[in-house]
Amino acid sequence: MAKNLKIKAARAEKDMTQGALAEAVGISRQTVNAIEKGEYNPTIRLCRAICRALGKTLDELFWEDEEDEA
């Protein structure tokens, strides 16, 4: 799974650390880290919670073109 740099960029825009995002969403920092590294595929429920915390849409944070999905 590819790295999710969009979440990292959205966090940076909001000046949020992984810990702060984790706290806002109610998950552990290791889970945020795993999502950003592409090691964990979150459920749609968690994706939505992350989007709300970062003020972005699902498309903006999680949409991948076919060639990036491998």
Partner 1 sequence: MKLKNNLDEMQEQKLKQIEHTGFWLFFWGIFLAMMIQIAFFSGKNIWLAAGEFAVFLPVSVWVAVQCLRNGIWDRRLKSDPKTNLLVSLIGGLIAGVFCAIPVYRNFGSLPGALATFVFTFIFTAVVCFATLSLSASFYKKKVRAMETEPEGEEA
Smaller CB distance to partner 1: residue 10 or 50?
A: 50
**Is 28 among the residues that bind partner 1 (CB under 8 A)?**
yes
Query: Which residues are CB-neighbours of 21 under 8 A, at least 6 positions away?
Result: 7, 11, 32, 50, 53, 54
Are 60 and 49 spatial neighbours (Cβ–Cβ below 8 Å)?
no
Per-residue tokens: 29? 């920092």
Which of 8-16, 29-37, 57-65 is the region at the interface with partner 1 (rule: CB under 8 A)? 29-37
Q: Which is nearer to partner 1, 20 or 27 (CB)?
A: 27
* Site residues, partner 1 (CB under 8 A): 26-28, 30-31, 34-35, 40, 42-43, 45-46
